């Protein structure tokens, strides 16, 4: 629970309490669906409540519901959030945070705010179905480029991207199917990869197999869980950590099931040397392609593509320099450390999307968990020592990225204060 300071009280008096409470509940549910850290959600709702004349609000955000009481000692109201959790696209997230900006100043009526939240949840994607599926294929090709593939990997990854994008589009209509989607997709993609690589029918290796599965990796969720745990939000942080770990296990189970049906080729057929298989420029081009694919597949806001590319570029350069100087385990830390201030600076631009919008694509470049999938395959090839090292590397990558975010936000605040950009109190992400 958190309480706003009395000095934030709105001079115009209190809004209708029931309408305000409903607006706060809907706004908090939307931010939960967008994947925001719970400590940030609580800070936002406290600030909004104070702007409407309720400076003593109590807020608690949990994995599947949130709880709000307008004053200490008053009955709290609960709102379930599991129906919305993790479902907002980037355009919906941007619209929600635009509404949040207005709510911070008390310029939108609570009834109007509640109506707009419901409209945001029901927003149609900016692009049609075929463009969305194509966007997933482009995103998959970009991730494959970052992994330094062969040309055969590129073609196969693009085709896998079309297949997985179509399966996601069909499976998204039924919530009960979404739970088994990671298993199904991992099984299909791994089976096809093993079938092609074994007899040598195509130049297929782990890069082509991993790329279409990256959008299932809970990189942002795992990183946010560490952020929440560092902020003392033990229940939500631990729950998000378990949920992300389960997602990884489902992917691993799908690959394992494929090995029971299809013969697994030797490790040397699945893992090639990662150096310059296409050219030194491939990963740099991959960053641009990931940005374009994300823009199409997740319906990013209008005019947000240049900003997405800027944050992606900052994350990639930070990771590249960190890997060159300190090695792979610290590369994720420096990538996150570089992208976090840039994402918040972008948020302050008139056409810049919210930081949460530009964060999510950047997490996929840092790819916490991709090493874990490679480790599963190496384990199946009876290289258990390499598998253990890769799986441990996944944990270190997740922690390194979370620490980079935690350290990057104070860096942004220090720079913003020195430039006179911060004029209102904002809770530190680390606190």
Tell me the sheet residues that pair with 79. 66
Q: Are 24 and 119 in contact (CB under 8 A)?
A: no
Same domain? For 64 and 140 the reply is no
The percentage of residues in the chain with a pLDDT greater than 90, rounded to a whole number, is 21
Query: How far apart are the C-alpha atoms of 295 and 308, rounded to whole Å?
Result: 8
pLDDT in tens, 396-410: 777 788 788 888 888
Residue 10 banded pLDDT, cuts 50, 70, 90: very low
Name the domain boundary from 121, 145, 178.
121
Name the domain boundary from 78, 95, 121.
121
Residue 200, domain extent: 129-418
Sequential DSSP letters for 66-103: EEEESSTTSPPEEEE-TTTTT---HHHHHHHHHHHHHH
Same domain? For 104 and 162 the reply is no
CA angle 302, 304, 307 (to 5 degrees): 170
Residue 1 banded pLDDT, cuts 50, 70, 90: very low
Same domain? For 297 and 233 the reply is yes
| 430: in domain | no
Phi, then psi, of 80 in degrees rounded to 5: -70, 140
Same domain? For 217 and 99 the reply is no
Within 129-218, residue ranges assigned H as helices are: 129-146, 151-171, 175-178, 181-197, 206-210
Local structure of 57: helix, strand or coil: coil
Phi, then psi, of 273 in degrees rounded to 5: -60, 135
Same domain? For 267 and 353 the reply is yes
- Count helices and strands (H / E) in the chain: 18, 3
Residue in 224, 217, 160 with CA at minimum distance from that of residue 190 = 160
Same domain? For 325 and 363 the reply is yes
pLDDT over 60 (residue 196)? yes
Give the CA count within 13 Å in the CB-facing half-sphere of 374: 24
Of the two residues 60 and 425, the one the predictor is more confident about is: 60
| 76: in domain | yes
Same domain? For 306 and 243 the reply is yes
| Residue 199 confidence (pLDDT) | 61
What letter does residue 351 receive in the DSSP assignment? Answer: T
| Residue 416 confidence (pLDDT) | 74
Name the domain boundary from 70, 88, 121.
121
Residue 179 banded pLDDT, cuts 50, 70, 90: confident
| 403: in domain | yes
Query: What's the rounded mean pLDDT across residues 318-334?
Result: 81
Within its chain, how far is the Cα of 417 from the centroid? Answer: 27
**Beta carbons within 8 Å of 242's beta carbon, 6+ residues apart:** none
pLDDT in tens, 61-98: 887 888 888 888 777 787 777 655 457 889 999 999 99
Query: What's the rounded mean pLDDT across residues 206-210?
Result: 80
CA angle 294, 296, 302 (to 5 degrees): 100
Same domain? For 162 and 97 the reply is no
Same domain? For 161 and 73 the reply is no
| 38: in domain | yes
Query: What's the rounded mean pLDDT across residues 218-225?
Result: 76
Query: What's the rounded mean pLDDT across residues 170-193?
Result: 83
Residue in 254, 227, 255 with CA at minimum distance from that of residue 241 = 227
Of the two residues 180 and 222, the one the predictor is more confident about is: 180
Q: How many domains does the chain have?
A: 2
| 1: in domain | no
Same domain? For 156 and 75 the reply is no
| Residue 163 confidence (pLDDT) | 93
| 424: in domain | no
Same domain? For 229 and 157 the reply is yes
| 410: in domain | yes
Same domain? For 138 and 198 the reply is yes
Question: What is the edge-to-edge ordering of all strands in the sheet holding 77-80?
Answer: 58-61, 65-69, 77-80
pLDDT in tens, 359-379: 878 877 776 434 434 444 454
| 193: in domain | yes
From 73-82, 204-213, 229-238, the region with the lowest mean pLDDT = 73-82
């Amino acid at each position: 629970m958190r309480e706003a300071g009395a000095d934030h009280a709105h001079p115009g008096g209190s809004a209708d309490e029931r309408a305000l409470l409903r607006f706060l509940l809907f706004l908090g549910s939307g931010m939960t669906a967008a994947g925001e850290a719970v400590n940030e959600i609580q800070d936002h709702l406290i600030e909004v409540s104070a702007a409407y004349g309720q400076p003593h609000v109590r807020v608690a955000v949990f994995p599947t519901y949130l709880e709000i009481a307008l004053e200490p000692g008053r009955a709290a109201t609960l709102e379930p959030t599991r129906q919305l959790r993790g479902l907002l696209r980037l355009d919906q997230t941007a619209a929600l945070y635009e509404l949040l900006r207005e709510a911070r100043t008390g310029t939108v009526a609570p009834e109007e705010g509640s109506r707009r939240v419901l409209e945001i949840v029901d927003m149609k994607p900016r692009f049609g179905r075929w463009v969305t599926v194509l966007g997933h294929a482009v995103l998959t090709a970009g991730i494959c480029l970052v992994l330094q593939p062969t040309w055969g990997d590129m073609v196969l990854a693009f085709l896998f991207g079309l297949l997985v994008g179509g399966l996601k589009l069909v499976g998204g209509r039924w919530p009960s199917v979404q739970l088994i989607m990671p298993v199904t997709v991992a099984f299909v993609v791994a089976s096809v990869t093993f079938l092609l690589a074994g007899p040598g029918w195509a130049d297929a290796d782990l890069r082509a197999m991993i790329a279409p599965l990256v959008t299932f990796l809970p990189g942002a969720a795992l990183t946010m869980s560490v952020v929440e745990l560092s902020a003392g939000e033990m229940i939500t942080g631990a729950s998000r950590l378990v949920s992300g770990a389960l997602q990884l296990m489902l992917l691993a189970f799908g690959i394992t099931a494929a090995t029971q049906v299809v013969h697994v080729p030797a490790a040397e057929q699945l893992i090639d040397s990662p150096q310059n298989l296409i050219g030194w420029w491939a990963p740099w081009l991959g960053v641009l392609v990931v940005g374009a694919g994300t823009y199409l597949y997740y319906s990013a806001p209008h005019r947000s593509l240049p900003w997405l590319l800027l944050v992606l570029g900052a994350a990639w350069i930070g990771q590249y320099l960190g890997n060159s100087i300190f090695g792979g385990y610290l590369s994720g830390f420096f990538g996150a450390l570089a992208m976090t201030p840039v994402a918040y600076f972008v948020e302050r631009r008139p056409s810049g999307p919210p930081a949460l919008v530009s964060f999510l694509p950047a997490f996929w470049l840092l790819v916490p968990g991709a090493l874990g999938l490679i480790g599963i395959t190496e384990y199946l090839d009876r290289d258990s020592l390499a598998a253990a090292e890769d799986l441990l590397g996944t944990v270190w990558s997740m922690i390194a990225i979370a620490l980079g975010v935690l350290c990057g936000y104070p860096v942004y605040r220090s720079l913003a204060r020195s430039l006179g950009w911060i004029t209102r109190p904002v809770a530190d992400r680390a606190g």
